[in-house]
Amino acid sequence: MSKKLFVGIDVSLKSNQVCLMDHDGSVMGKSLSFDNNLPGTLAMVEHLNSVLSNGDFEKLTIGMEATALYWFPLFNFLNNSSRVFVEKEAEIIPLNPKVVSHFRDAYTDMDKTDIKDSFVIADRLRFGRVHSGRIPSVDFLALQRLTRFRYHLVQYESRLKNYARSFLFLTFSEWNRVKAFSDVFGATAKKLLKKFCSAQELSELSIEDLKELLNEFSKGHFKNLDEKARLVNQTVKDSFPIPPELAEQVHLLIKQTLQQLELLEKHIARLDKKIEKLMNKFHNPLMSIKGIGPVLAAGIFAEIGDISRFPGQAQLAKYAGLTWRKNQSGNFNGDITPLTKTGNPYLRYYLIQAAQCLVNHNPEYREYFTRKFNETPRHPHKRALSLTARKLVRLVYALLSKNQLYLAKERQLAKDREVNSASVPEVQAEVLEVSEKTAAKKVKTQRLPHASRTLPCGQEHMRGRRAVNT
């Protein structure tokens, strides 16, 4: 039996705690701490090489929890540097934090410290049957960083808009309720909010001047300019007046908030271009779905990774947090079941956004969303959209696991009809060939013996014709 050395590393921001253990479970020396940087890692490697040489070990197994991003620089250095451990077989394994956490439960009444954490990791390696976590490539990790950062920017943009709406209620109280513009933060609406301090100031503008202003700000976008001008004018007249001193200060806050929103929109647009460019390095069948662009496909793909680690679509849905807990007791079955939301928040966000796009562009998903919307008594839109996203999970799993492109029902039916129509002539040709061979055999078998029974010429001709026609 070869001597093995197991090394458990508890990774943190400042340092890495290292525990050495042999194949019998004995801890070798004291647990040491090394700085989580390149000099500290080189010192750790030098220490491990000395232990390998003195202890005559043949194999080295190093494990660390794949927590956040603190582990990746250390793992990348140990896994990719050539001949880090001299003339020894080394294996570097990133562990799922849940695996380590469940293994720790076997030790009752154990303290939670960095030293104990490194011990648990080393002991888990010694027990074996360790499923190595997914090791992402450099391009894949870069794509995941981009999509996750975009998620945070979008969330911040949403919070900033909600914050701006509270300011708007002070200066333009009817702006959010009436919705004179389809987008409260659209180009035309933002220019008006920047130009006028309050609704009272905007109401002093005549209808003709307001029409000219709207036409200028919208660049001639509005078809019925008169109706739009009257609606805006009525909206500002119905708003509550506020003191000019307060309106001036709130107007400053609104302008700064709108400037931040414009900056966020530019950053998100730049990220979208970068994500689309990086997606060209991956083969992603999700982009074949009409309505799902490269950004949404990248967000889903970056969070799922290797689809083979999910046994089925139900496990993928649970990982995304798109499952509902049952509410049952005795003969009672609750109709209202809450969404778990315990899975990956990034994957759940991109799946729900993709479901909304499919509702807008895919007739099958639009019909499904409408049916669920009518069936749901409470929060119909959220509930129907979540159920549509759950339906999308099944499609995503099928496409990624089979590595095939998406075909809508209409296109699939048309393709089946083409295949069937193309196969009909071949079948008819085969049937005709078989019938001709059968007829030839019948003609051959129905020939009369030579001069034994002679029929009149007319009857012999008729018999031969009947045999061919059969």
Give the model confidence (pLDDT) of 427-440 as tens digits: 454 544 545 555 54
**4-127 matches 141-281 in fold:** no
Would the pLDDT of 447 be above 50?
no
The C-alpha angle 91, 303, 408, rounded to 5 degrees, equals 130
Structural contact between residues 211 and 225, judged by C-beta atoms closer than 8 angstroms? yes
Question: DSSP string covering 113-157, please?
Answer: -HHHHHHHHHHHHHH----PPP---HHHHHHHHHHHHHHHHHHHH
**Residue of higher predicted confidence among 137 and 87:** 137
CB 420 within 8 A of CB 413: no
Query: Cβ(262)–Cβ(161) under 8 Å?
Result: no
Q: Which residue has the tokens 């409260």?
A: 184
Contacts of 182 (CB under 8 A, 6+ apart): none
Q: What percent of the chain has pLDDT over 70?
A: 82
Dump the DSSP string for 184-233: TTSHHHHHHHHH-SSHHHHHTS-HHHHHHHHHHHHTS--S-HHHHHHHHH
SS3 413: helix
Q: Which CATH architecture has domain 4-127?
A: 2-Layer Sandwich (3.30)
Fold of 141-281: Helix Hairpins (1.10.287)
Quote the radius of gyration of the chain (alpha carbons, Å).
Answer: 36
Residue type, 352: I
Structure token digits, residue 372: 């669920």
**pLDDT at res. 436:** 53
Q: What are the pLDDT digits (tens) for 298-356?
A: 999 999 988 988 999 999 999 999 988 776 667 766 666 778 778 899 999 999 999 99
Tens digit of each residue's pLDDT (9 = 90 or more) over 365-410: 999 999 999 987 888 899 999 999 999 999 999 999 999 999 876 5
| Cα gap 402→14, rounded to integer Å | 43
CB contact set of 304 (below 8 Å; sequence gap of 6+)? 310, 316, 347, 396, 400
As a whole number of angstroms, the distance between CA 140 and CA 145 comes to 9
Question: If you ran DSSP here, which 8-state letter would residue 85 be given?
Answer: S
Q: Which residues are registered as beta bridge partners of 332?
A: 329
Indicate if the pLDDT at residue 457 is higher than 50: no
Q: How many CA atoms lie within 13 A of 362 on its CB side?
A: 23
CB distance 55 to 28 below 8 Å: yes
| 442 close to 463: Cβ distance less than 8 angstroms | no
Q: Which two tokens stand for residue 204?
A: 């002093």
Identity of the residue numbered 22: D
Query: Tens digit of pLDDT for each residue in 170-228?
Result: 999 998 888 888 888 999 999 999 999 999 999 999 999 999 999 999 998 888 899 99
317-325 long-range contacts (CB < 8 A, ≥24 apart) are 317/390, 317/393, 318/343, 319/343, 319/344, 319/347, 320/344, 320/347, 320/348, 320/351, 320/393, 321/345, 321/347, 321/348, 322/348, 322/351, 322/386, 322/389, 322/390, 322/393
Give the domain ranges of the chain: 4-127, 141-281, 285-402, 410-469
User: How do residues 52-86 score in pLDDT, each as one tens digit?
Assistant: 888 778 888 999 988 777 888 998 888 876 567 76
Q: For the chain, what is the mean pLDDT? A: 83
318 token code pair: 């649970």
Reported as a single tens digit per residue, the pLDDT across 264-284 is 999 999 999 999 999 998 888
Query: What global pTM score does this model have?
Result: 0.76
Q: Are 274 and 260 in contact (CB under 8 A)?
A: no
DSSP string, 246-310: HHHHHHHHHHHHHHHHHHHHHHHHHHHHHHHHHGGGS--GGGGSTT--HHHHHHHHHHH--GGGS
Q: What share of the chain is helix, strand, coil (3-state, %, to 5)?
A: 65, 10, 30
With 0-12 / 13-18 / 19 or more C-beta atoms within 10 angstroms meaning exposed / middle / buried, residue 161 is middle
* Residue 198 token pair: 């309050």
pLDDT at 450: 40
Bridge partners for 339 per DSSP: 324
